[in-house]
Amino acid sequence: MAPSTKHIAESASFQAFVNSFIRETGTGCMKALTSVDEVELQQKMHGPFIMELHLPKQKTTLWIDVLYRSLVGRHTFGDVFQVKQRGKWQQEEPFSAMLLLIQELHAQAKATPEMRSSCIEECLLRMIDSLQTMHSYIDVRQKDGENLYECKQDFIDSEQSLLYGHWLHPTPKSRQGMAYWQHSLYAPELKGRFQLHYFLVHHALVEHGSLFESSACELVAQDVGTPTFQNKGNQNWVVFPMHPLQAQYLLKQTSVLKAMEQGLIKDIGQAGKLFSATSSIRTVTSGSGKWMYKFSIPVKVTNSLRLNRRHELQAGMLVATLLRHSKTLRINKGFHMIRDPAYMTVRLPGIKESGFETIIRENPFQDGGAGVTSIAALTQDPLPGYHSKLASLIKKIAVRECLPVSTVSLHWFKHYIDVAVQPLIHLYDELGLALEAHQQNSLLNIYNGYPSAFYYRDNQGYYLANSYKDVLLAKEPKLKEADGLFYKDALIDDRFAYYLILNQVFSLICRFGVDGLQEEAVLLEVLRSALSEMEVTLVGAGKRFVEGLLRNEQLACKANLLTRFHDVDELAEELEQAVYTSIKNPFKSTGKKEGVAYAHAGSPTF
């Protein structure tokens, strides 16, 4: 019998939650199934290993069936059993097991008050919200299974296919602040389309910037096509688009209401052409339009309330200008930075950020972007009964080229390293610029099978190394005015290692392994070899970065569960710092699958 959509959602949530718990707390012991004394319990297991999780504060233990054991990514778990004192055991539902793990974190936090306090209520609320949201999305989209993993689907279809969300986040589909009836319009997973909400704002209140001869205000007016309310020839008023969710929030703010009373802001309402949300929810595209728009929205997604900060408005323009000096971009024709070359906001008295902050992003997929997919969509678990997008792709290439899938997988992975990984590291080496290149920010064009182009997006993910500051200021003096772009080199190395290697590359290696396409150890060795070859040619920050990847005993790892449990809004923290821990470096392992224990975490840093 096919599993229910509720069971699918619970299982998907359980995978991400338990893997996060093991990685971030350092608990969990992988054991051979033969070590289980209980014959009846052993017979209920399907994999060759079990994960044993002791929960000392509750005086109980969980035994979890391990269906797939990963070297670099996350394990795949099956049924879970609670083993109590005197050997008594009972099977637990995935949701019940997650509750036990949260209670254990809560008990540990109470026992160590010198650490950050427990925010168990918030964590439970977000977990339940995520689970229910995921369930509702799967319920609606389950019938689209064939289309969800189509390799040549358009960009927006790929963006709207992420039913499970972040592969190592305890609340991947939490949408706190979005009412249930709003999901059908504004959630990308439900393929909603909607009009933007428009204001007319007196020009004296509008702050804007653009890298083009046309101002940001002119770019928007030309793009959105709103002649029904635009005062033609009246230069005193600026057409200002807004996400409808944010517009509802703004219309409740005292500062905005006061400006409206003074006749400086006019509320027009929803109008114009239709837009669709990309995977971030708050960045929207009309498909064929020249620009995408990245708005603030009053919604907590995963770890943070999604706001555009004032310093981020110019960051996109400054980095776009800096990249004009990049030899890496000139040499690597398939490597693309999706620019954020303009912005608009409204200045209101006594308020640093009014909520109108809007980033204007170029749209390189005006032709539909067939075959362009985020790595998150490429590697996500498929619905039951379907193949992952990566597995479907590799098998089609294998049939086309009459080659084994293992051989095609090697060729594909090497193409990927050439088009994505190497340019990202070379860019860091050349300009001291590291990118927050996680799965969702990283796009590949796989229309012809093998990766032909890589695209990076997101102006919240720029890190400039302090050691390059003098050189970069000489190239672009305006960087001196930038706030929040320069960071300590060591911090950048840690974040870059997490986002590029642990989050992006390892998700692909894990997907190849889970789908039986190629052994993880083989791909890890391919990556190690490519990095070693690069190391010889690098001379700056990239060389230090690669040396650390290959030789450090531990790698920094973002702790999404602890970030969520302690209710840390990383975008509101100093240096936008989430909770980080450390894991054993897979490059330092023997490379033999049976000899590698799952990474144990070090002490978390806040």
CATH number at residue 430: 1.10.510.40
How far, in Å, CA of 122 to CA of 473, rounded?
Answer: 43
Question: Alpha helices, DSSP H only, in 212-308?
Answer: 216-224, 244-250, 254-261
Statement to judge: residues 358 and 381 lie in one domain: no
pLDDT tens string 266-282: 999 999 999 999 999 99
Say if residues 212 and 203 touch (Cβ distance below 8 Å).
Answer: no
70 has a pLDDT exceeding 50: yes
598 has a pLDDT exceeding 60: no
The domain boundary residue, chosen from 293, 328, 362: 362
164-168, 303-307, 371-375: least confidently modelled range: 303-307
Averaged pLDDT, 571-578: 53
Single pTM value for the model: 0.93
What confidence tier does 606 reach under pLDDT thresholds 50, 70, 90? very low
- SS3 category, 374: strand
How far, in Å, CA of 441 to CA of 250, rounded?
Answer: 28
Q: Which residues contact 8 (CB under 8 A, 6 or more apart)?
A: 135, 138, 383, 384
Statement to judge: residues 380 and 405 lie in one domain: yes
What confidence tier does 599 reach under pLDDT thresholds 50, 70, 90? very low
Establish if 587 belongs to a structural domain.
no
User: Which token pair is 292?
Assistant: 């995408």
Averaged pLDDT, 418-442: 97
- SS3 category, 479: helix
Torsion 477-358-274-445 (CA) sign: positive
Cβ burial of 142 (10 Å; 0-12, 13-18, 19+) is middle
User: Which residues span the domain enclosing 32?
Assistant: 5-137
Establish if 416 belongs to a structural domain.
yes
235 has a pLDDT exceeding 90: no
Report the pLDDT value the prediction gives residue 433, as an integer from 0 to 100: 97
Statement to judge: residues 261 and 349 lie in one domain: yes
Establish if 171 belongs to a structural domain.
no
115-124, 192-201, 445-454: least confidently modelled range: 115-124
Establish if 559 belongs to a structural domain.
no
Averaged pLDDT, 192-212: 96
Establish if 277 belongs to a structural domain.
yes
Statement to judge: residues 434 and 354 lie in one domain: no
Statement to judge: residues 517 and 378 lie in one domain: yes
226 has a pLDDT exceeding 70: no
How far, in Å, CA of 553 to CA of 537, rounded?
Answer: 23
pLDDT tens string 469-500: 999 999 999 998 877 899 999 999 999 999 99
Statement to judge: residues 260 and 301 lie in one domain: yes
- SS3 category, 517: coil
Establish if 166 belongs to a structural domain.
no
Q: Which 3-state string (H, E, C) describes 55-81?
A: EHHHCEEEEEEEEECCCCCCCEEEEEE
The pairing of strands 462-465 and 486-487 is: parallel
Q: What residue type is 237 in one-letter code?
A: W
Averaged pLDDT, 561-577: 67
The residue behind tokens 């893997």 is 19
Statement to judge: residues 205 and 248 lie in one domain: yes
Establish if 447 belongs to a structural domain.
yes
Averaged pLDDT, 453-475: 94
How far, in Å, CA of 54 to CA of 375, rounded?
Answer: 34
Establish if 162 belongs to a structural domain.
no
Statement to judge: residues 325 and 426 lie in one domain: no
For 297, phi then psi, to 5°, come to: -140, 150
Report the pLDDT value the prediction gives residue 576, as an integer from 0 to 100: 52
Region for residue 90 given its phi and psi (left: phi exceeds 0; alpha: psi -120 to 50; beta: otherwise): beta
Statement to judge: residues 304 and 423 lie in one domain: no
How many domains are there within the chain? 3
101-105, 204-208, 248-252: least confidently modelled range: 101-105
Smallest CA-to-CA distance from 302 within 114, 170, 148, 430 is with 170
144-148, 279-283, 400-404, 468-472: least confidently modelled range: 144-148
H-helix or E-strand spanning residue 265? strand 265-277
193 has a pLDDT exceeding 70: yes
313 has a pLDDT exceeding 70: yes
How far, in Å, CA of 347 to CA of 360, rounded?
Answer: 18
Averaged pLDDT, 163-189: 93
Statement to judge: residues 343 and 378 lie in one domain: no
